[in-house]
Structure 1
């Protein structure tokens, strides 16, 4: 009888059509960088050197005064280069190396293995913060929780191959999957920063309980008044998966405030001694 095969072919055709429709939707909503983002990848005279690393680039300040570094993951469907101005500013004013990664299909959750690969190439860094914008922050949270778990294979791999430690999580307008439990209680040398925007309509606010960020932890939540979701990068406007709110402070001001909060946090971490000598 042929009807079971016809049913199977019909199901396969429907699945393929659905996948094609989703691919078209995602492609139409890809976010490209502003021209201002490309300028941050060249020599601007601020002393920051941009070097290529595996699947990305690293911003190295002229006076790298810290052994602390930051790996930054882009938001979903956003060209990673849109975050170049922010990453360059953070590197320049914090004295920390900042790695900005490209992710497969512009989806940070598909490129988790790239994080460790890039870290290994920046040998001057022995302590790492991992973070990102939107979906990039959610992916960073998964990497972070695995890395600080003493029993995880990832943590063992980090210590054996990197001779480095992951000590901090940075969330820029980021939500975290419900399966990822962020519990920093009792971890006095682990740090977290969440930067939100008042007019961000794209992602729900991630609630990190105050007790998990208290005592010795440099756990901070900062809200940018008048900022929106796309203002964390040089791209926009963003209309997917829902329309973003309208920024009332402008891109330059939001970028400065986001960078200020991140730099102050990194400098607070840098004052703490490293566990790896």
Structure 2
């Protein structure tokens, strides 16, 4: 039985179909890229309040924002901070300001490709190189940023002193790394997988300090507005950031 010419698509038809498929893929990819690139936050008013403070200095470098309370010296403790997934890195300037206020601490908040730390896992290298005077470094981050900071710490433990997890957990074993580790959690966090976080504590050193803050949800770690799936709280955003920042800053300075 002959198929006949009419049942076979000609080259022009195939070309049109392929072009349409490529266009759809391009639109989807472009939309996804735009979705992540736009990011959440920052709360401009909260950032401006920090910039106008006489107690804190905000310095913008290529690919990072630095928050410190004084000059950077060999005595300064440095923290390289990775932002949460799809969150603009400047959203953490107000929280960092709480960490450094009255303390010899400098926080380098790293800008990530498409606001995803998974696309820039080793950017702590450049952040540390920008401040060669600092001898004591910790890495940390919020949510996805914390998980990626843990991976960086696992690969560079001999060059670091600490790891800070904000509403996050480690999927790499650093239990015998010699690192000091702080894990700060929000009691009202509706985004973090609490069961996964608790199970993952086995990856942390036995001396890890775990702090759970009442009245703090997942979005309370930064200044970028409410987050889908999170729990509502009565605590003001600035108060949540103050609690997170003070708990972290005291640990870093200690």
| Correspondence for 2:57 among 29, 35, 49 | 49
| Correspondence for 1:261 among 247, 250, 253 | 247
Match of 1:90 in 2: 99
Extract unaligned runs of 5+ from structure 2: 1-7
Bigger Cα Rg: 2
Q: From the superposition, tell whether residues 147 and 3 of structure 1 become closer, same or farther in structure 2 (CA, over 3 Å).
A: farther
Alpha-carbon distance, 1:78 to partner: 1.5
Match of 2:209 in 1: 220
Q: Secondary structure at the match of 2:91?
A: helix
Match of 2:40 in 1: 31
Q: From the superposition, tell whether residues 23 and 67 of structure 1 become closer, same or farther in structure 2 (CA, over 3 Å).
A: closer
Alpha-carbon distance, 1:40 to partner: 4.6
Extract unaligned runs of 5+ from structure 1: 151-164, 269-277
| Correspondence for 2:201 among 201, 204, 209 | 209
**Match status 1:169 vs 2:163:** yes
Alpha-carbon distance, 1:170 to partner: 0.8
Q: From the superposition, tell whether residues 51 and 10 of structure 1 become closer, same or farther in structure 2 (CA, over 3 Å).
A: closer
Alpha-carbon distance, 1:211 to partner: 8.4
Q: How many angstroms apart in 1 are the aligned matches of 2:134 and 2:114?
A: 28
1:116-135 correspondence runs (5 A)? 116-135=125-144
Q: Secondary structure at the match of 1:93?
A: coil
Q: From the superposition, tell whether residues 67 and 25 of structure 1 become closer, same or farther in structure 2 (CA, over 3 Å).
A: closer
Q: From the superposition, tell whether residues 25 and 263 of structure 1 become closer, same or farther in structure 2 (CA, over 3 Å).
A: closer
Q: Secondary structure at the match of 2:51?
A: coil
Residues 60-97 of structure 1, C-alpha deviations (whole Å, 9 max, x = no match):
32276833210111112212111111112212233111
Q: How many angstroms apart in 1 are the aligned matches of 2:47 and 2:138?
A: 24
| Correspondence for 2:235 among 224, 239, 249 | 249
**Match status 1:193 vs 2:182:** yes
TM-score by length of 1: 0.75
Match of 1:162 in 2: none
Alpha-carbon distance, 1:166 to partner: 1.2
| Correspondence for 1:233 among 217, 222, 225 | 222
RMSD: 2.7
Q: Secondary structure at the match of 2:161?
A: strand
Alpha-carbon distance, 1:147 to partner: 0.7
Match of 2:5 in 1: none
Match of 1:182 in 2: 173
Alpha-carbon distance, 1:43 to partner: 4.0
Q: How many residues align?
A: 240
Q: Is the 8 A contact 1:58 1:99 kept in 2?
A: yes
